[in-house]
A and B are shown apart, each in its own frame.
Chain A
Amino acid sequence: MPGARAMVRIAGLLFTALGLLVASRARATVGSGGRSSVRNDVYMDEQIVVVSPTAHSWLELGDKIEIDAGFGLDVLTGATPVLTTDAITSATYFSETRRGANAAVTYRPRSTWDLHASTAVSLESDHETVSPAAGASTELFHRMSTLGLDYAFVHERVGLASDPSYQQMTLGHMVDLRWAQILRRGTAMMFIATGQLSNCDQALGCHANPYRRVPILTPGGGILMTARERHPDRRLRGAAAVRLRQYLGHDLALHGGYRFYGDDWNTTGHTGDLALVKTFLGGRLRARVEGRFTWQEPASFYRNNYEITDVTEFEVPSYRSADREVTRMYNGLAGVRFDHQFALPRDVSLGINTRVSRIWYRYLNYSVLDSRNAWIIGVGLQLEY
């Protein structure tokens, strides 16, 4: 579990968030309204605990402008096996904190158009990400369709805690196309497509871990040597999803979707999800029971064992990975969410939401680990005014 210092940070964040809530509420008296949200989510599996408190506020300035800002932490603690030059050590304890902040402005020149720009920053001791983005969306065909296009630029810097001079850069571009369509009175569809291109430094490649080393094995299975993980220095990724929401009557709705993913590392994936959503108490209480399943095929260069045939004359494979996230795997999620809205005086409403999810990960060609099982628990408060 997080140490005392982490808990102090979380408490500080929540106090700051409360200040933000009060400030936003005061500011809303000169605007048209707004909402603020504070929440804390916890991810736990056998190896790691991630505590993620966040706070976010949205504020409408008249009819045409909305601004929002938020910040959050990911406090990671856990233990993981570390591969040194010739052996896998026992589990090594680690603790780190990621700080994130984002801000956005939305301008609506007409009731059917919005233009938005945002920036997000994420900071860790050895990893920084800055991502400015801009986009637009419009409603078409008697407002039956909503079409949106977004672009984000991503700049990443990867360092090493043990070597301040070590630095790797990644420049990325991401384009998102969204199309929401009303099909009938109780049926809505959404199509989403994303394209991403990452250009990464050559020493490490894209999404490789500078701390992770890959064992090069002798024909007998012993560790001959280890090499730093190395991925291709370019990655082109694409994903497309279709989602449907169908009202079933009696305040019950079915939500479902399918996503296909593919990239130029030959990784492919299929994700399906389904949820039943029911409201009670005149719509104030909402319950959602959901499931999600993902199947993933591995990157073309991934091997469970990088084994050589001749120990006297060999070449280390150009690309090598010990990352379980690029292996053949599947995972399933089952969860429930509840949220309740309370009407308060002076057109203010308070929402309380909570969720519990269980995720089962299964790795089919990863010798270090064949499974892990996680819980996600979250609770949030939302104030609308």
Chain B
Amino acid sequence: MGRGRSQVFETMKHPDPRRLVAVIPLLLLGCASVDPSQRGTLMKRSMQLPSDPMEMAFDSHVHETRESLAGATQVGGPSCGCN
């Protein structure tokens, strides 16, 4: 028997945090060692966040003052391993 729409909706409202954590090891299964000399693709500008941190801060401020939701916003990223 499939779950009803309301049950699915309730699950979406209160997802089990253990399921979220379980996703992370799955992501790492495909993790391959990448030397710093091979990180050119990762450091391409198309892979970077908008260049101005103040722009990102403004976006976070807009969303946090008009929603009840806050936190876990994107900052930083992986290392180029170049210094």
Contacts and interface: CB of A to CB of B under 8 A. Distances in A.
A297 B58 CA distance: 24
A70 B54 contact: yes
Contacts of B1: none
Given A190-B77, A260-B20, A261-B70, A41 B58 contact: yes
A331 B47 contact: no
A143 B78 CA distance: 9
A269 B44 contact: no
B75 A178 contact: yes
A230 interface: no
B41 A185 contact: yes
Interface string B33-58: 11110110110111101111111001
B76 to A, nearest CB: 6
Nearest to B27: A189
B24 to A, nearest CB: 6
Interface stretch (A20-28, A155-163, A236-244): A236-244
Contacts of B31: 144, 181-184
Contacts of B66: 325, 331, 361
A268 B32 CA distance: 35
Nearest to B42: A188
Interface residues of A, number: 86
Contact of B45 (A52, A243, A267, A279): A279
A297 B11 CA distance: 13
B83 interface: yes
Given A142-B33, A148-B76, A182 B68 contact: no
A39 interface: yes
Interface stretch (A87-95, A220-228, A306-314, A376-384): A376-384
Interface of B: 12-15, 17, 20, 23-24, 27-28, 30-36, 38-39, 41-42, 44-47, 49-55, 58, 62-63, 65-79, 81, 83
7 contacts: A191-B24, A241-B74, A261-B69, A261-B70, A329-B67, A337-B55, A361-B66
- 9 closest cross-chain pairs (CB), A and B: A194-B71, A239-B71, A239-B72, A241-B72, A143-B81, A269-B69, A253-B46, A261-B69, A192-B72
